[in-house]
Amino acid sequence: MSLPASGLLPFLITHTLFMALTGICLAALVLSLALSTRQGGRLYTLLLLVLLPATAAALTLPFLLPLDRSSLLLPFFQGVLIGPAISLAPLRRLKDAPSAWGRTAQELGATSLTRIRLLWLPLLGRPLVGSIGLALALSLLGALGISKAPLS
């Protein structure tokens, strides 16, 4: 049984945005971890290993768990599971960037805001936009799965 048409749009918007924000926050945490530890290559490999199972689990989770549709717990779990897919494109760009760029910019007197604005944002701009688009697309698919999953 699916949701009535009048309540479908607010439901889709709420769950899509909550799932996307959860995944984007997790991706931001992964990227900051990669920047601070300089372990982008290892994180990239680990995320590649869990990419397909986590994304498949995120999209099938509404059919596996009998949760209340008004609860935001299911979109939270789905957002965590789409996190690896969102993190891959920016992390690939970070993995390929020389690790000395940030230290060199710091030694040349660039503040952290200047490094973000002049170094990391131009380097990660397109992958970040693509990741946000992927997050919204996967979140919409996940929210549609929640609305079509049978009630238990």
Q: Contacts from 125-130 at CB under 8 Å and sequence distance 24+?
A: 127/89, 127/90, 127/92, 127/93, 128/89, 128/90, 130/89
- Section 132-145 average pLDDT: 89
Q: What is the pLDDT of residue 119?
A: 82
21-41: per-residue pLDDT in tens? 999 999 999 888 887 887 878
pTM of the model: 0.79
Best-predicted range by mean pLDDT (11-15, 51-55, 139-143): 51-55
User: Over the stretch 49-95, which tens digit does the pLDDT of each residue have?
Assistant: 999 999 999 988 888 877 666 678 888 999 999 999 999 988 888 88
- Give the tens place of pLDDT for each residue, 88-136: 988 888 887 777 777 777 778 888 888 878 887 888 889 999 999 999 9
